[in-house]
Amino acid sequence: MLKYTLKRFISLILTLFLIATLTFFLMNAVPGDPFALDRDTPQVIRDALNQKYGLDKPVFERYLIYMGNLLKGDFGMSMKFKGQSVVDKVATTMPISAMVGLGGVLVGVLIGVIFGIVAALNNGKTFDFIVIIAAIVGVSIPNFVFATLFQRFFGVTLNVLPVFGYKGLLYLVLPIFAAAMQNIAFYARMLRSSMLDVMNQDYIMTAKSKGLTRKSVIFRHTLRNSLLPLVTSFGPMIAGVLTGNFVIEKIFGIPGIGNAMIMAIQGSDYMMIMGLTIMFSFITVVMYFIVDVLYGVVDPRIRIS
């Protein structure tokens, strides 16, 4: 186990290094001068700004400085907002994004799994049919459509929930559900098919022949084994928790990390874009690492291969 974790850890460090390098040189390829705004900035001021941000040095020297700073936990400063560092920005926006993201996943998994189970148990009946149709339609509707419809329906027509900004937990209800809709559809479909798959296995027949109660067969034998594909889907989903909600955050005006990224993009705040990208990637890679190690704990076969 220790050897496996160590191996994964070395690969993690290597990945982080390569991502940072790649992002740095990609951002360097962005054409134009970050200080050439729509206003005419005098050359003297531009030179001073370039010097302040170290942009007058050769690329490779800047790369070494940036990597050194990363090692010290300094992801750079905003070029548009004085004194705002990337790390500060992430620290203030991350918790809000995490609430929306994790909320969306939890609500999605919970409701989706329940729908999937009930549909599988009613295989071939009306409820099953409704769930299949709803799930396929649900996957086909982009989350920005759900978000806008929710805003209109709950915020304007019913006027029961706040639709914009963030001044309390109530402001997160609609974004979480908007983010959850596709998850609900996805997990309902997945769990339904995996339940049906397991229900056809021989060990379920054995369990039934042993005379176990229906409840026991469903919960102890069918459900437990049906949940395995759910566990494997967690890895990719964690990446989606962070980046998948850019649009939701923008529509609902949630001051999360996605919104910060959009603002940085629209304001050509290159240092912020670069810092946030590297930060995003680091978080994702570290999450994958944790999930991988946990898999190794859960399933010994993975450690060996």
Nearest-approach distance from CB 276 to another protein, in angstroms: 9
Q: Which of 4, 5, 8, 27 binds another protein (CB under 8 A)?
A: 27
Q: Which is nearer to another protein, 48 or 125 (CB)?
A: 125
Q: Does 105 bind another protein (CB under 8 A)?
A: no
Footprint of another protein on residues 223-242 (CB under 8 A)? 239-240, 242
Q: Which of 5, 69, 92, 148 binds another protein (CB under 8 A)?
A: 148
Footprint of another protein on residues 156-185 (CB under 8 A)? 156
Binding-site residue total for another protein (CB under 8 A)?
A: 44
Q: Does 18 bind another protein (CB under 8 A)?
A: yes
Q: Does 144 bind another protein (CB under 8 A)?
A: yes
Contacts of 70 (CB under 8 A, 6+ apart): 20, 278
Nearest-approach distance from CB 19 to another protein, in angstroms: 6
Nearest-approach distance from CB 268 to another protein, in angstroms: 8
Q: Does 15 bind another protein (CB under 8 A)?
A: yes
The 3 state secondary structure assigned to 138-203 is HHHCCHHHHHHHHHHHHHHHCCCCCCCCCCCHHHHHHHHHHHHHHHHHHHHHHHHHHHHHHHCCHH
Q: Does 44 bind another protein (CB under 8 A)?
A: no
Site string for another protein, 239-278 (x = CB under 8 A): xx-xx--xx--xx---------xx--xx------x---x-
Q: Which of 152, 164, 228, 298 binds another protein (CB under 8 A)?
A: 152
Q: Which of 97, 151, 183, 194 binds another protein (CB under 8 A)?
A: 151
CB 86 within 8 A of CB 75: yes
Q: Does 142 bind another protein (CB under 8 A)?
A: yes
Q: Does 26 bind another protein (CB under 8 A)?
A: yes
Residues in contact with another protein by CB under 8 A are 11, 14-15, 18-19, 22-23, 26-27, 29-31, 136-137, 139-142, 144-145, 148, 151-152, 156, 200, 239-240, 242-243, 246-247, 250-251, 261-262, 265-266, 273, 277, 280-281, 284-285, 288
